[in-house]
Amino acid sequence: MINRRSWFKKSAAAIASVPLVNATFAATPSAPLDSTKVLGTPPKEVGTRSGFEKLERLVYAREASSASATPLELLNGIITPSDLHFERHHGGIPTIDPDRYALLIHGLVDRPLKFSLTELKRFPAESRICFIECSGNGGRAVLGRGAPVAEEVTAGQVDGLFSTSEWTGVRLSTLFDAVGVKRKAKWFLAEGQDSAVMSRTIPVEKGFDDAMIVYAQNGEPLRPGQGYPVRLLLPGWEGNAQIKWLRRIDVSDTPFFSREETSKYTDAKTDGRIEMFSFVMAPKSIITSPTFPTVLPGKGWNEIRGLAWTGHGKIAKVEVSTDGGNRWRHAALQAPVLSKGTVRFRIPWQWDGKPALFMSRATDELGNVQLMPGVFADNRGPATFYHNSAIRAWKVDASGRVTFGQNELA
């Protein structure tokens, strides 16, 4: 019997059955004994990864309303290769003809206008490196649901509904000026052109602050799974609100209370109340290496590596504990530390060969700190799994085997 939380349940089942290395990959190429003695292959129009590297997203369920997660544990730096950017769509990926595309802005405006893709590209452009995190990211790491969380899971399985790209487009404020947003406007509906006609209401002030209408990702046109030809970018805010395949903006004085901001993506509290419009993603970090399925080769030196981000601005520091949360050390942050971007942190660790629980804790420039799961869950009812930014732990046993250690924090 599968209930309305079927998506997460099924994903959990799918995860359990998905082999980490998928058989759909071409066979590993054979390399000559001495590559300096064999003439190499000529250049091609489109490059591919080395046949020795198996990088793929983890697909939750092969259905229209499903998701695929970024394999965080296999990546370096902060930019997610576009073909590995996570996806979550509610009605599948639409096919949209760029020549027939238009963005309509209407409602509380002086001049309702339609913009073609060509016109959007002619506006002053801007690029920005931003993370996008699904509101439901880490839902699988929520403790206290009766059963322990799975331990043989990768960092991508835990928090891979999170990716980082350089996005290019036009500031929404520029378009708001073009249509003349009226003074009493407070909210705008952003609506997609997918079969779910996904819609969310966003405060107009975000539109005037740093929201963008983007058409490019890491230099190339948006991938279909990321909203081709145009998506809304809301730096630092929950992924669901950053409507893909954007076709309409309806400027208004009150929210529309769409299904995605009421029935979904809201947080039920222990006092029985339900919080809406929690847009900003809290500071968060996750160690990506060493993590499952790594087996440490023996005691000695390791570099602990991970990712940290916050929707409030810049990450101020990341601390790492390798003794179950007693002692914390500052990790080095890789420059540049970008506002509403992602930062890579690293710290050396001498493993003494004994079982250990290690974890990271992010603090942002406003002083917001990533909380221990217990504290984090304090005011959250059991039916809530969105916006789970609690500290993530990994554990290593005496044999060097690393697994997800979240249950130890229960």
Residue 90 as a binder of ligand HEC (CB under 6 A): the answer is yes
Per-residue binding letters, 186-225, with ligand HEC (x by CB under 6 A): ----------x-----------------------------
Per-residue binding letters, 173-192, with another protein (x by CB under 8 A): -x--xxxx-----xx-x-x-
Q: Among candidates 49, 44, 114, 127, which has minimal Cα distance to 81?
A: 49
State which amino acid sits at residue 160: G
Distance separating alpha carbons of residues 252 and 207, to the nearest angstrom: 13
Q: Please report, as residue ranges, which positions from 255 to 284 form the binding site for ligand HEC (by CB under 6 A).
A: 259, 263-264
Residue 410 as a binder of another protein (CB under 8 A): the answer is no
Judged by CB under 8 A, which of 60, 86, 115, 345 binds another protein?
115
Distance separating alpha carbons of residues 271 and 269, to the nearest angstrom: 5
Count other C-beta atoms under 10 Å from residue 162's C-beta: 27
53 binding partner (options another protein, ligand HEC, none; Cβ < 5 to 8 Å by kind): none
Residue 251 as a binder of another protein (CB under 8 A): the answer is no
Q: Please report, as residue ranges, which positions from 371 to 390 form the binding site for another protein (by CB under 8 A).
A: 381-383
Size of residue set near ligand HEC by CB under 6 A = 7
In the complex with ligand HEC, which residue's Cβ is closer, 22 or 263?
A: 263
The secondary structure of 349-399, three-state, reads: EEECCCCEEEEEEEEECCCCECCCHHHHCCCECCCCCCCCCCCCEEEECCC
Residue 366 as a binder of another protein (CB under 8 A): the answer is no
Residue 223 as a binder of another protein (CB under 8 A): the answer is no
Residue 274 as a binder of another protein (CB under 8 A): the answer is yes
What separation, in Å, do the N-terminal and C-terminal C-alpha atoms of the chain show? 28
Taken as a whole, the chain contains a residue count of 410
Q: Please report, as residue ranges, which positions from 51 to 70 form the binding site for ligand HEC (by CB under 6 A).
A: 65
Tell me if 160 sits within 8 A of 71, measured CB to CB. Answer: yes
Question: Residues with Cβ < 8 Å from 262, sequence gap 6 or more?
Answer: 276
What is the Cα gyration radius of the chain?
22
280 binding partner (options ligand HEC, another protein, none; Cβ < 5 to 8 Å by kind): another protein
68 binding partner (options ligand HEC, another protein, none; Cβ < 5 to 8 Å by kind): none
